Structure 1
Amino acid sequence: MAGDVANPRLWEGADLWTAPVGTALPTDLATPMGSTWSAVGLLSEDGASESRDEDTSDFYAWGGKLIRTQRSKHKRQIKVTALEDNLTVFGLVNPGSTVSTTAGVNTRTVKIPKSEKRAFVLELRDGDITKRRSIPTGEVTEVGEVTLSESDLQAFELTITIYPDVNDVLYVDIDNDPQGAAPTFGEVRSVPGS
């Protein structure tokens, strides 16, 4: 059987941070996230999921032979469930709303959500392997139904839509996974599709 048992990843831990668009993104794995970044807090054990959506149009030659596929309207989203009801989550769920505190009493004034683009970093860990996914521009475009009960944990399912930059870059992954390392001088490693 072909393959390497060291290649599959089981992400055992994760953190999600957010900051204003334009905040410096991490360039390594060792530097702690700066004070401009706000942690979302505890995340659901269900993990994060990434979805892709795009339109395709197939073109055929006479006789029904497929000769080209055109791709357009590419959309990428990450879905994650926040388990904390903290100020960072409140801001992501209710952009444009406010919180004030007087004499230990919080007043949350929830307004109709406005568009608020943010930067995000999703850090994943599998033993000694760490991956930081830096998203320069994204936005929470969907919030799942929030259950308020004594039998279910309150949670906020957030769908983050990722916007490309001027060079069509959606995000940058930085990791220390030796299985995905680029070839070193003199070594040739082909990358499928390139």
Structure 2
Amino acid sequence: MVNIIRAADLALVGSNGGAWVAPLGTAQPTDPAGAPTGAWLAIGAISEDGLTNGVDEDSEQFTPWGLNSPFRTVVTSSVRTFSFTAWETNRPIVKSLQYRIPVEDLAPDEDGIITFAETATAAPDRRAWLFDVYDGTVWERFFIPEGEITERSEVTYAQGEMVGYEWTISTYPDSSNNLVYHSYLAPEVEEHMS
């Protein structure tokens, strides 16, 4: 009988995590395990559904005359997305993202009131994004140099329900033609390489 090798320390349960955003062109933080600083602004609390990393691909199959099975498949479209629900809807960066306005425009007046208007013409709002997923000492980081919120869900204001902004962020290629940069730590990976 074959001996199946399993290593629980190489599994990841997304038990905690964080999300940050920065202006387009902001470099990936150099400390892969530390919380980002500088231009990076925290999104704050995320719903218990956590973070969803989606892959949407389309392909074209080529089946030659005389065969019933394709002999070549070409990927014609490949999109990477990240989805989550932001719960701290009064955090300035969260309002900025939801309504596509600069965070600097959300300064309170002398009475502490912030006012803004939604425009009828949505301009592109690409920013740099950073997502961390934690499971004890194991972590995984996703750095998106160019991402934009491309889907926003309805917002419900009701008793007994947390108000949240549900977003899907689509990734775009950077100058190196990369969509997402991955970093992760798994304990004693070397011993599991064989």
Fold shared, TM-score > 0.5 on shorter chain: yes
Alpha-carbon separation, structure 1, partners of 2:123 and 2:158: 28
- Give the structure with the higher percent helix: 2
- Residue in 2 that maps onto 1:54: 57
Q: Share of identical aligned residues, percent?
A: 30
Amino acid at match of 1:64: N
Structure 1 stretches of 4+ with a deviation exceeding 6 A read none
Q: How many angstroms does 1:31 deviate by? A: 4.3
How far apart, in 2, do the equivalents of 1:101 and 1:155 lie? 22
**Structure 1 residue 101 and structure 2 residue 108: aligned?**
yes
Change (3 A) 1:10 1:130: same
1:67 is matched by which residue type in structure 2?
F
1:68 and 2:72 aligned: yes
Structure 1 residue 12, shift from structure 2 partner: 1.2
User: Per the alignment, do residues 90 and 59 of structure 1 end up closer, same or farther by CA in structure 2, a change over 3 Å counting?
Assistant: same
Residue identity opposite 1:4 in structure 2:
A
1:122 partnered with 2:131: yes
- Structure 1 residues 22 and 16: CA distance shift in structure 2, 3 A: same
Given the alignment of the two structures, is residue 144 of structure 1 paired with residue 148 of structure 2, yes or no? no
Alpha-carbon distance in 2 for matches of 1:165, 1:44: 29
Secondary structure in 2 aligned to 1:106?
A: coil
Alignment partners' CA distance in 2, 1:2 and 1:33: 36
The TM-score normalised by the length of structure 2 is: 0.86
Q: Deviations over 1:148-193 (max 9, x none)?
A: 11121101101000112233311111122136x4x6xxx9958xxx
Scaled by the length of structure 1, the TM-score of the pair is: 0.86
Task: Tell me if structure 2 keeps the 8 A contact 1:139–1:160.
Answer: yes
Distance change (3 Å), C-alpha of 1:162 and 1:87:
same
- Give how far 1:111 is off: 2.1
Question: Is residue 2:146 matched to residue 1:159?
Answer: no
Are 1:110 and 2:136 an aligned pair?
no
Q: Select 1:34's aligned residue among 34, 37, 40.
A: 37
Equivalent of 1:45, from 45, 48, 55? 48
State the match for 1:7 in structure 2: 10
- Where do 5+ consecutive residues of structure 1 fail to align? none
* RMSD, aligned α-carbons: 2.2
Higher strand content, 1 or 2: 1
How many aligned positions are there? Answer: 185
